[in-house]
């Protein structure tokens, strides 16, 4: 990004102490003005910063990335570390060559943030330029490869591995398997991997895993899938996960799930979800949930979701919500939903809304519902309409209320309706209002109905 960042941030103007060096230990803000940098609707980094420090720089950086958008708002504290930034750049199509090469094989972004180039490597593994070894012509799978032989083996040599070859690899050697080597292994070879081998494998190697390799792995391997492996797993690999593999996975691994990984998982995985696994999922990962994934969740599993998980879900995900899920949803959860999330619910879902749920809906959320969906609200829930909800309703919403809905409006909330809200109701509409409701209206609102 030559010429500096938009918003007045130029090369060399790094966040933090103003010295041009990134803050130690990653980029951690604290205080105010949270935001989310998104690529294709998936959150890759949620961050907060003190005013005048990191936030303006990160916001400007996000807006300058291709295909990225900045969304203000969000909850909680979070960190944009170097690895998260690298992933964000990769997802947006920003290549390492777009910055200047810095010492240590890193790429400079705008002269300020230093972004690691390429994969993170397992401790003790060699750099890619030193992996030049060839597979011995007389390679004996039963004897496997030594640690030194494996770590020097050129990635392309792994194309020659089959099930027998992989089965012969010693766990000690696999601790140094690099992502570049992993990605060259054929899916057929992955079928020969044992649980002990997978357990010994360095988490960093999984950055190179493909969807085809994932699909070929035996479910028994997933008993050894832990949080560190999930945190390093390539998002694309998650697209190949099968329901049987997911069922075999321990709940501990799901705490390392990221939004971009979540977005890649097949909807069939969510049919295999149980309440324990749902409870173990990282709340931040929910930002990547897709409509088809939500639709596949069993009603009881959906009802088991935590408030912080619901809070993180992208509004678009609620396009997949089912009436059966709404029937199971706790009333207290409704208060967590944002106006944008409620607006994405279908008319079929709103049709089964219970009075207790409606009472917990925020006035802003009610005001956000598309007028076309308002006739779907059950008349009985409008009998629980609060003063705040009544005052928030848009005239366009009131105009489309059905006779049954008008008759059910809570008289206790009548004095919160204004003349502007009711003036477009016809005399026929007014006849549908209950006498108790009409009696409780303010003189101005009653006059608007009579005009």
What is the per-residue pLDDT for 64? 65
Give tens-digit pLDDT for 12-57.
222 333 333 333 233 333 333 456 666 554 444 444 444 444 555 5
DSSP state, residue 133: B
DSSP H or E run through 43: strand 42-49
DSSP output for 151-182: HHB-GGGGGG--HHHHHTS-HHHHTT--HHHH
Residue in this structure with the two tokens 């303010």, named with its chain if needed: 442
According to the model, what pLDDT value does residue 125 have? 80
| This prediction's pTM | 0.71
Query: What's residue 75's pLDDT?
Result: 38
Q: How many whole angstroms separate alpha carbon 283 and alpha carbon 217?
A: 27
The 3-state DSSP class for residue 37 equals strand
**So what's the pLDDT on residue 366?**
97
**Below-70 pLDDT ranges, the chain:** 1-119
pLDDT in tens, 114-133: 333 356 778 778 777 788 88
Domain ranges of the chain: 27-116, 346-451
Contacts for 167 with CB less than 8 Å, ≥ 6 apart: 141, 192, 193, 194
pLDDT of residue 115: 33
């Amino acid at each position: 990004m030559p010429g500096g960042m938009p918003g007045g941030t130029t090369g060399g103007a790094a966040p933090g102490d103003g010295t041009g060096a990134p803050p130690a230990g990653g980029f951690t803000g604290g205080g105010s003005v949270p935001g989310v940098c998104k690529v294709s609707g998936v959150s890759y980094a949620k961050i907060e910063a003190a005013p005048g420090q990191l936030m303006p720089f990160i916001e400007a950086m996000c807006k300058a990335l291709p295909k990225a958008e900045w969304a203000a708002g969000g909850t909680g504290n979070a960190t944009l570390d170097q690895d998260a930034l690298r992933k964000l750049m990769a997802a947006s199509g920003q290549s390492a060559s777009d910055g200047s090469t810095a010492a240590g094989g890193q790429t400079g972004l705008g002269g300020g943030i230093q972004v690691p180039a390429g994969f993170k490597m397992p401790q003790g593994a060699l750099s890619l330029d030193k992996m030049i070894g060839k597979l011995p012509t007389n390679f004996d799978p039963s004897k496997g490869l030594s640690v030194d032989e494996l770590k020097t083996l050129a990635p392309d040599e792994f194309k020659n591995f089959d099930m027998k070859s992989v089965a012969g690899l010693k766990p000690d050697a696999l601790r140094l398997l690099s992502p570049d080597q992993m990605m060259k292994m054929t899916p057929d070879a992955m079928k020969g991997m044992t649980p002990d081998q997978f357990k010994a494998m360095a988490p960093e190697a999984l950055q190179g895993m493909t969807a085809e390799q994932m699909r070929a792995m035996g479910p028994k391997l997933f008993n050894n899938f832990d949080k560190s492996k999930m945190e390093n797993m390539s998002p694309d690999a998650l697209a190949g996960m099968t329901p049987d593999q997911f069922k075999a996975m321990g709940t501990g691994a799901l705490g390392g799930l990221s939004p971009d990984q979540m977005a890649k998982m097949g909807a069939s995985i969510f049919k295999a979800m149980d309440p324990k696994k749902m409870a173990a999922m990282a709340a931040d990962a929910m930002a990547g949930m897709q409509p088809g994934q939500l639709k596949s969740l069993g009603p009881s599993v959906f009802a088991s979701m935590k408030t912080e998980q619901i809070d993180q879900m992208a509004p678009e995900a609620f396009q997949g919500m089912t009436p059966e899920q709404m029937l199971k949803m706790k009333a207290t959860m409704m208060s967590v939903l944002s106006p944008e999330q409620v607006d994405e619910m279908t008319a079929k879902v709103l049709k089964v809304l219970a009075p207790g749920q409606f009472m917990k809906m925020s006035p802003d959320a009610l005001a956000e519902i598309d007028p076309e969906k308002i006739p779907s609200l059950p008349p009985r829930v409008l009998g629980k309409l609060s003063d705040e909800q009544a005052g928030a309703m848009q005239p366009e919403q009131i105009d489309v209320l059905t006779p049954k809905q008008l008759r059910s409006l809570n008289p206790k909330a009548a004095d919160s309706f204004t003349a502007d809200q009711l003036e477009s109701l016809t005399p026929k509409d007014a006849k549908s209002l209950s006498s108790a409701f009409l009696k409780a209206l303010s003189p101005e609102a009653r006059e608007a109905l009579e005009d």
